[in-house]
Amino acid sequence: MLNKRELERYNSQIIFKKFGKESQEKLKKAKALLVGVGGLGSVISTLLVRAGIGELKIVDRDVVELSNLQRQILYDETDIGKSKAKLAKEKLRKVNKNVKIKAFKDEITKDNVLKYARNVDIILDGTDNMKARFALNHASVKLKIPFVHAGCEGFSGVCAVFVPKKACFACLYKECEVKKPISVLGPTPVLAGSMSSGYAIQMLSSTMKLKTSFMTVFSLIDNEFDTYIIKKDTKCAECGK
């Protein structure tokens, strides 16, 4: 049940007819795993915590660097050299103490991903590498939990939602390494991260029921937004039979 302070805190979303009190209560019971609290994860974590998710589990191996501040909106100059997972937890606690936040300084792999993904309702991608994304997809398929992937380069970005038993991340992408450094301007991860959290909030609160996996690709430089249905690959290495 939502208490008086929570009803006040979330009033703007509760009065939205398609969301309402029931959705807010469902969101309060929901748990998410977010891997990566950089450019994408700063936005995803902030919006989920502000919206009133029940529990957020954060995993990130990195420390804050000066070159991160251009887009990673959770951090400031005093954070340089410190663990992102630990800092994110501290900062997000100050935003909303109703949310249970767990933070782990770790690198996600296929060997440890199930440990982190067990008992969550959704898996969110805030990473910048394919290896971690394939590990998250592995957990999503194995545990039948939705997986929301986001990525960006320059002024272009993607947000893809993979629904259990439908097409998975590995149906769409094949294993490869992303060349670094990745060029990126601040608004791109903010938009892709905002879309991720938007879909997550809707799925966790049952405001949106998805029947298929899909992706939205955008380019801010060409002013293009396109959404595609993702088809299952029957020969997929992860979910194919």
Give the max Cα distance, the chain: 52
Residue from 74, 135, 171, 204 in contact with Zn ion (CB under 5 A): 171
Residue from 40, 160, 170, 204 in contact with Zn ion (CB under 5 A): 170
Segment near Zn ion (CB under 5 A); pick from 102-110, 191-199, 202-210, 228-236: 228-236
Q: Are the beta carbons of 41 and 33 closer than 8 angstroms? A: no
Question: Taking the complex as a whole, how short is the minimal distance between the CB of residue 232 and Zn ion, in angstroms?
Answer: 6
For Zn ion, give the closer residue by CB, 107 or 238. 238
CA atoms within 13 A on the CB side of 169: 30
Element (H, E) at 107: none
C-alpha closest to that of 82 among 97, 94, 72: 72
What lies within 8 Å, CB to CB, of 192 at 6+ separation is: 40, 150, 151, 152, 157, 158, 159, 218
How many residues belong to the site for Zn ion (CB under 5 A)? Answer: 6
For Zn ion, give the closer residue by CB, 14 or 170. 170
Q: Is residue 168 a contact residue for Zn ion (CB under 5 A)? A: yes
Report CA 71 to chain centroid distance, whole Å. 16
Segment near Zn ion (CB under 5 A); pick from 101-109, 163-171, 179-187, 211-219: 163-171
Query: What are the residues binding Zn ion (CB under 5 A)?
Result: 168, 170-171, 236, 238-239
